[in-house]
Structure 1
Amino acid sequence: MQYNKLLLTWLTAAILSIFLSGCSSWVYRINVPQGNFLEQSDIDKLRVQMTREQVLYVLGTPVAKDAFDSSKWHYNYVFNIDRESEMRKSLTVYFENDKLVDVTGDFEKPADFNTPLDQ
């Protein structure tokens, strides 16, 4: 009799754990943005020959500065919308002699990028 009661308890626990394991997708996960959120309007303010300080003012502090090459700054942004999809954006800014020379990444280069600010 006690054996049947123990078996029934274990069987109930096993069935409940199987059913409840299917509910793991119901757990609320907070969407946490990571990195530098940039918009095209921010990128449109960049001009060739800007100083590092001017780029910092426009874009903010980069996520990563290349440890072996100080002429590159990396701006990355990741936003997990749900488990299957995420939004990723990146921008790399290149300097020569502490002056901006190029930008590459997921944004369009501004139409008047090659026109310096002082002209």
Structure 2
Amino acid sequence: MAAVFSKSISKWLIAASCALSVSACSNWIFRIDVPQGNFLEQKDIDKLRIAMTKEQVQFVLGNPVAENSFDNDVWHYFYALKRGNGENFEKKLVLTFADNKLAQMTGDFETPAQFNTALDQ
């Protein structure tokens, strides 16, 4: 009887040690980075000029992530990166058009030095 009891205890101890060792390895699991949206760099933003048409802006930056349903003159560019290690990175750019021409930009990027100079000047 003592032999059966010691075998069941040893099986339980082996199972418990395996479970603990597997849970300790959970920090070593590789988690991928998850990017979403439009990745923009300042060098792309530096190409923007006031009075550019929507087509010209789209050529430079690509399609916006979202357009305002109630106002076709506001475009939203958004980029989010959720890293596997838990860090988050976000950048946004909002472009406003007037009469189908770029009028204003706001967001997390610096306004280009030449932004207020139209392309045709």
Q: CA deviation at 1:45?
A: 0.8
Superposition RMSD in Å: 1.8
Match of 1:51 in 2: 53
Distance in 2 between residues matched to 1:17 and 1:55, nearest whole Å = 56
Distance in 2 between residues matched to 1:18 and 1:32, nearest whole Å = 30
TM-score (norm 2): 0.85
Q: CA deviation at 1:19?
A: 2.4
Distance in 2 between residues matched to 1:18 and 1:68, nearest whole Å = 55
Distance in 1 between residues matched to 2:75 and 2:22, nearest whole Å = 47
Counterpart secondary structure, 1:22: helix
Q: CA deviation at 1:63?
A: 1.3
Percent of matched pairs sharing the same residue: 51
Pairing of 1:1-119 with structure 2 (within 5 A): 1-119=3-121
Distance in 2 between residues matched to 1:69 and 1:76, nearest whole Å = 18
Q: Structure 2: which 5+ runs fail to align?
A: none
Distance in 1 between residues matched to 2:62 and 2:87, nearest whole Å = 26
Counterpart secondary structure, 2:71: coil
Counterpart secondary structure, 1:103: strand
Check the 8 A contact 2:76/2:92 in 1, yes or no.
yes
**Structure 1 residue ranges (4+ consecutive) displaced by more than 6 angstroms after TM superposition:** none
Check the 8 A contact 2:49/2:119 in 1, yes or no.
yes
Q: Which amino acid aligns with 2:28?
A: W
Check the 8 A contact 2:31/2:85 in 1, yes or no.
no
Counterpart secondary structure, 1:101: strand
Which structure: larger Rg? Answer: 2
Q: CA deviation at 1:31?
A: 2.2
